[in-house]
Structure 1
Amino acid sequence: MDKKASRRRRAVKARASIKRLGANRLTIHRTPSHIYAQVFSADGATVMASASTLDPEVRKALAGAHTGNSSAAVAVGKAIGERATAAGVTKVAFDRSGFKYHGRVKALADAAREAGLQF
């Protein structure tokens, strides 16, 4: 099993347990250049809030810095936390898409918690 297959297997297992919970889901995806975050409704049909390093507001906060580092992840975490609370979502389940919980993933999660999301 290669690295990508292992990550996808972890993601499927986590999403199955989140589905059993019936909670709104904060899901992330990271690439070497960017990081993306979305808050889905409990049924998974509606995106309630989203943020990424491609958003103009987040890019302004980064002031031309590299978008694939931990400071960019903090900016995205802050943005997703603010947008989700504005949409009326405060409690979510964190879906890290099989990525290990360290580095940029941890930075985004901590910033989202500071911005008002509970998970």
Structure 2
Amino acid sequence: MRTNILKRKLSLRLKRKRRIRAKISGIANCPRVSIFKSNRTIYAQAIEDVTSTTICQSSGKVLNLKANKEGAINLAKDLATKLKEKGIEEVVFDRNGYLYHGVIASFADALRENGIKL
């Protein structure tokens, strides 16, 4: 019973992910910022979709952050500084199928607070 619930949650997230990715794309001066969260940590990367390259990335595992709101805020600060070093001020936010709530929302808000326009 429990595995069916987890499979359904994952399939719904993947459906949302495909729906979102059909509408957004990142270019060199406005990359796509994608976030991934597991039960233990969170990861974020800025992707330029034309050449399929990662411009910069930030990992909660490297920074010893947990997958909670505080960890998301610190991860966003780290990613924002890396983006500013590359001269990028504006990005497209890809929530990767997750609902815009909790950790994902606090990550996006922290990016805005650190001077990155979403």
TM class by shorter chain equals 0.7 to 0.9
Label 1:7 to 1:68 Cα distance change in 2 as closer, same or farther (>3 A).
same
Q: Cα 1:44–1:74, aligned 2, differ >3 Å: closer, same or farther?
A: farther
Q: Which sections of structure 2, spanning at least 5 residues, go unmatched?
A: 1-6
1:44 positional shift: 5.4
Normalising by structure 2, what TM-score? 0.85
Partner in structure 2 of residue 24 of structure 1: 31
Larger radius of gyration: 2
Unaligned 5+ runs, structure 1: none
Partner of 2:17: 11
Q: How far apart, in 2, do the equivalents of 1:44 and 1:94 lie?
A: 18
What root-mean-square deviation, in Å, do the aligned CA atoms of Structure 1 and Structure 2 show?
1.7
What TM-score does the superposition give when structure 1 sets the normalisation length?
A: 0.84
The corresponding residue for 1:52 is 59
> How far does the alpha carbon of each residue in 1:48-99 deviate from its partner, in whole angstroms, 9 at most, with x for none?
11112112xx33xx6xxxx121101110011111111111221111000000
* Structure 1 residues 1-119: aligned runs within 5 Å: 2-19=8-25, 22=27, 23-43=30-50, 45-55=52-62, 58-59=63-64, 67-119=66-118
For 2:69 and 2:77, the matched residues in 1 are separated by: 12
Distance in structure 2 (CA, Å) of the matches to 1:34 and 1:42: 25
Q: Which runs of 4+ in 1 moved over 2 A?
A: none
Number of residues of Structure 1 aligned to a counterpart in Structure 2: 110
* Whole-Å separation in 2 of the counterparts to 1:109 and 1:79: 13
**TM-superposition CA deviations, 1:1-36 (whole Å, max 9, x none):** 8111110011111111003x7541000000111000
Secondary structure class of the residue paired with 2:23: helix
Q: SS at the partner of 1:33?
A: coil
Say which SS state the counterpart of residue 34 (structure 2) adopts: strand
**Separation in 2 of the partners of 1:101 and 1:44?**
28
1:43 positional shift? 1.6
More helix by proportion, 1 or 2? 1
